[in-house]
Amino acid sequence: MVLFANRFNAGKRLAQELIEYKGRDDVILLALPRGGVPVAYEVARALDAPMDIFLVRKLGVSGKEELAMGAIASGGVRVLNAEILLALNISEKDVNEAVQRETRELQRREHEYRGDRPYLNLRDKTVILIDDGLATGASMRAAVEGVRTQHPAKIIVAVPTGSIEACQPMEQVADEVLCEQTPQPFYGVGMWYDDFAQISDDQVRELLEQADKLYARG
């Protein structure tokens, strides 16, 4: 059973669940590139809120890259999944190599997407972190910990769909968690979208520019 036509459709649905935050001057949306950007764009339109990106890179297991042993985020944040490290006997050397590799990609994307766009000040703000879904939750957990270092008033994690195994533990790190749909068995995020095509760097930049035009950055 498909839940969403595409990420834009998912964003419109998610926005309905966040409508209480519409028009508030203390709300900032942060999308996890690349899949979270079109979702957040539709939420930003509906809530009349500023939108930015927060970069996170999943640390994939060698040979099983879709399986996350952890994640890194802007600001040097690193989150590891101890259960997967132990179960697969992953060495510290393997972890460090993955961190170095993904750090290079994180820095490339930071330059590629942001250019000379200023960072939004998150201090004392209500920050809504948005992705297209939660499978393991590793990337989002790293994002929450990274944003927390910037002293927001509140962090809300909002996704169109996610596994119960990822959504419930997220409540321990975020102030509020909205997983709009938690189908079981979950299988994977892409299973619940009719169109789950990869988002390009150009699309990310274009959506950020469009969001800026919709909301005058202060």
pLDDT at 80: 86
Domain CATH number, residue 192:
3.40.50.2020
pLDDT tens digits for the chain (218 residues)? 789 999 999 999 999 999 999 999 999 999 999 999 999 999 999 999 999 999 988 888 888 776 888 888 876 778 888 889 999 999 999 999 999 999 999 988 888 888 777 788 999 999 999 999 999 888 898 899 889 988 999 999 999 999 999 999 999 999 999 999 999 999 899 999 999 999 999 999 999 999 999 886 54
Separation of alpha carbons 30 and 8, rounded Å: 16
pLDDT at 109: 87
Q: Into how many domains does the chain fold?
A: 1
Q: Can you tell me whether residue 41 is helix, strand or coil?
A: helix
Separation of alpha carbons 83 and 212, rounded Å: 41
Q: Is residue 41 part of a domain?
A: yes
Q: Is residue 103 part of a domain?
A: no
Q: Is residue 108 part of a domain?
A: no
Q: For the chain, first and last CA: distance in Å?
A: 42
- Which residue shows structure tokens 């975020």? 174
Supply the range of the domain harboring residue 149: 7-55+118-213
Q: Is residue 60 part of a domain?
A: no
Q: Is residue 163 part of a domain?
A: yes
Q: Is residue 135 part of a domain?
A: yes
pLDDT at 111: 85
- CB count within 10 Å of CB 102 equals 19
Q: Is residue 207 part of a domain?
A: yes
pTM, whole model, 2 decimals? 0.85
Q: Is residue 112 part of a domain?
A: no
pLDDT at 216: 61
pLDDT at 218: 44
Would residue 50 be called left, alpha or beta, if left means φ above 0 and alpha means ψ between -120 and 50 degrees?
beta
